């Protein structure tokens, strides 16, 4: 089970509240009251929780990622059935498989660089972005690396991490995913 090991100070709680509100607003603005709304609201809420856990514990817990691999396909299937967007559903499964495979190769090539939590999260993100089309998928996939690189550069510049240190990549992956959602 997932256990938070410590209580967070008010600035962290405030940041979580603001980022949750912004992501929910982005999703509602992008999808309106459509059939896709529940799937992307779910992604927004789980993104905040996963980001906080990854930043603080440097891991993406299976207790959060595995249920997302069940809930998100169900919500996307319901959206496709209601709107007749079967092509989009096929894109979701292809996107999930493609991003999972890409991250798995990266993890096998460089085990210290990409963790298996990132690999599993890639499947979730690939599902969500693949449903929206190949442009959002590519923007989200490459945006994650761009954002991760910028975060690393800032952390190195501010001496928050050394060249041998590690920076959680899950938040960058999720930020890239929502960058992709903007291109839907």
User: 140-156: per-residue pLDDT in tens?
Assistant: 999 999 999 999 999 99
Collapsing DSSP to helix, strand or coil, 31 comes out as helix
Domain count, the chain: 1
Each residue's pLDDT tens digit, 7-31: 677 788 888 999 999 999 999 999 9
Q: Which residue range is the domain that position 170 belongs to?
A: 10-182
| Domain-embedded: residue 14 | yes
CB 60 within 8 A of CB 103: no
pTM for this prediction: 0.92
The residue with tokens 């690396």 is 145
Q: Is residue 3 part of a domain?
A: no
Q: How many CB atoms lie within 10 A of CB 83?
A: 13
- Which contiguous run of DSSP H or E holds residue 110? none
Answer yes or no: is 5 within a domain. no
d(CA 63, CA 147): 26
Residues 76/39, Cβ–Cβ less than 8 Å: yes
Q: Is 99 within a domain? A: yes
pLDDT in tens, 103-148: 999 999 998 889 999 999 999 999 999 999 999 999 999 999 999 9
Local confidence band at 60 (pLDDT 50, 70, 90 cut-offs): very high
Strands (E) located in the chain: none
pLDDT for 13: 84
CA distances from 130 to 4, 95, 165 (A): 31, 4, 32
Q: How many angstroms separate the Cα of 159 from the Cα of each of 54, 117, 118, 119, 172?
A: 20, 26, 24, 28, 19
User: Residue 1 pLDDT > 50, yes or no?
Assistant: no
């Amino acid at each position: 089970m997932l256990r938070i090991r410590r209580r967070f100070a008010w600035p962290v709680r405030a940041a979580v509240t603001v980022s949750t509100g912004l992501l929910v607003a982005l999703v509602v603005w992008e999808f309106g009251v459509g059939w896709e709304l529940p799937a992307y609201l779910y992604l927004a809420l789980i993104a905040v929780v996963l980001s906080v856990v990854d930043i603080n514990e440097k891991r993406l817990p299976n207790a959060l990622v595995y249920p997302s691999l069940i809930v998100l396909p169900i919500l996307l299937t319901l959206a496709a059935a209601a709107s007749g967007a079967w092509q989009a559903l096929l894109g979701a499964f292809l996107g999930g498989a493609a991003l999972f495979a890409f991250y798995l190769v990266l993890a096998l090539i460089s085990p210290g660089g990409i963790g298996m939590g990132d690999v599993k999260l890639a499947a979730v993100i690939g599902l969500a972005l693949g449903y929206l089309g190949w442009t959002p998928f590519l923007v989200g996939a490459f945006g994650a690396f761009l954002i991760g690189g910028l975060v690393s550069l800032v952390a190195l510049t501010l001496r928050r991490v050394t060249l041998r240190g590690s920076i959680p990549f899950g938040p960058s992956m999720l930020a890239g995913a929502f960058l992709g959602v903007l291109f839907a």
